[in-house]
Amino acid sequence: MMKRLTAIVLFSALFLLGATEKLDWSKSKEIYKGISLLRIEKEMPRLMKINVIRIDLKTPGLDFTATGRDKDWGKKMPDCAGYIIRTKRQRTRDFMKEARAKGMNMVLAVNAAPWGPWKKPFNHKYANPSGVNILNGEVISDHEGKGPVFVIYKDGVPAIERRLDVEDYPNIKIAVSGFSIVAKDGKSTFKDKSLAPRTAYGISADKRYIYILCVDGRQKKWSMGMTCQEAGEWLLAAGASDAINMDGGGSTTLVYWDEKENKLVSLCRHTLGGYERYVASSIGIILKK
């Protein structure tokens, strides 16, 4: 009897988590060929507004880019002693608009790596992204051994690596570092209790799909956020085998280009009156015409 009660309690706890059943992608919205969106609202175990993107890497014309070096890369930051310029902080929406203005058909963009400096008044013009960050083989930042990395190699294969070897850098299309690996080989790998807005990426076991999870948080009547553990479990439910937690909190931003309406759509609701943070780096998904 005791074993049965224990099983029931465990099942109930997992059910309340809300990510035990595989997500039903037949109910998703295809915002572009090969790019699907699920918008989910949960009341248990707390109020949450969740966006999950699935990207089919077999989609013809699919390509990726990320924030590159600032023109003053390598110089000392003029507004923060002890820091070196790597990127210029920019809203993810502006990252997309700038790419589209240059003729790139960027259809989706999401924030990426955490960065420094992060100190008052929190409005520094430049950033030095954490960990290893690379665009087309060119190093943006390299803080060896600090943080796992989301990678797309030049042959199109995605990966979540615990670390990168310098010898591999020339073979990398994009690399952006995150905070922690939250799922590995189909199993959750992280435990925590901290609620916040979250950005996390996942990859399917067969390397065909990339998943992007963005969750609003810290808004009592809208969405309270989720833990890193839950982010990993949601990505497992979406179909991922491996997952990485990226820069979250006020940085969490997910936007796409609505081709019919000819306008940018933000899928996240930000705190502070809708203010969108200027972040160190973003990833963009391009569909070549």
Section 36-50 average pLDDT: 97
- Is pLDDT of 117 > 90? yes
Is residue 234 one of the residues assigned to a domain? yes
Q: From CA 281, how far away is CA 289, in angstroms rounded?
A: 25
Q: Tokens 């905070």, residue?
A: 179
Asked if residue 15 has pLDDT above 50, the reply is no
Query: Mean per-residue pLDDT for 197-224?
Result: 97
15 part of a folded domain: no
3 domain residue, yes or no:
no
List b or e across 244-281, with b for residues whose CB sees 16 or more CB atoms inside 10 angstroms: bbbbbebbbbbbbbeeeeeebeebbebeeeeebbbbbb
Is residue 8 a part of any domain in this protein?
Answer: no
What pTM was estimated for this model as a whole?
0.92
pLDDT of residue 17: 45
Mean pLDDT score, 127-140:
97
Per-residue pLDDT at 8 exceeds 60: no
pLDDT of 145? 63
Tens of pLDDT, residues 223-272? 999 999 999 999 999 999 999 999 999 999 999 999 999 999 999 999 87
Q: Which of 118, 125, 119 is nearest to 86 (CA)?
A: 125
What SS3 state is found at 113?
coil
Instruction: Give me the chain's average pLDDT, please.
Output: 92
Any idea which residue has 């013809």 for tokens? Answer: 60
Q: Is residue 9 part of a domain?
A: no
Q: What is the model's pLDDT at position 147? A: 80
Q: Is residue 2 part of a domain?
A: no
- Cα-Cα-Cα-Cα torsion 121, 125, 127, 133, nearest 10 degrees, comes to 150
Q: How confident is the model at residue 103 (pLDDT cuts 50, 70, 90)?
A: very high
Share of the chain above pLDDT 70, in %: 92
Q: Assign 139 a pLDDT band (cuts: 50, 70, 90).
A: very high
Report yes or no: 228 and 71 within 8 Å, Cβ to Cβ.
Answer: no
Predicted local distance difference test score (pLDDT) of residue 272: 72
**Segments in the chain forming alpha helices (H):** 2-17, 92-101, 228-238, 271-274
pLDDT of residue 16: 41
Would residue 203 count as lying in a domain?
yes
| Residue 92 pLDDT > 80 | yes
In the chain, what is the straight-line distance between the N-terminal and C-terminal CA atoms, in Å?
Answer: 62
3-state SS class at 241? coil
Range of the domain at 149: 23-287
Among 153, 81, 87, residue whose Cα is nearest residue 114 = 87
Question: Considering its fold, how many domains does the chain have in total?
Answer: 1
Q: Report yes or no on 6 lying in a domain.
A: no
For residue 150, pLDDT beyond 80: yes
Identify the band that residue 2 occupies on the pLDDT scale cut at 50, 70 and 90.
Answer: very low
Report pLDDT for 6: 33
Strand partners, 17: none
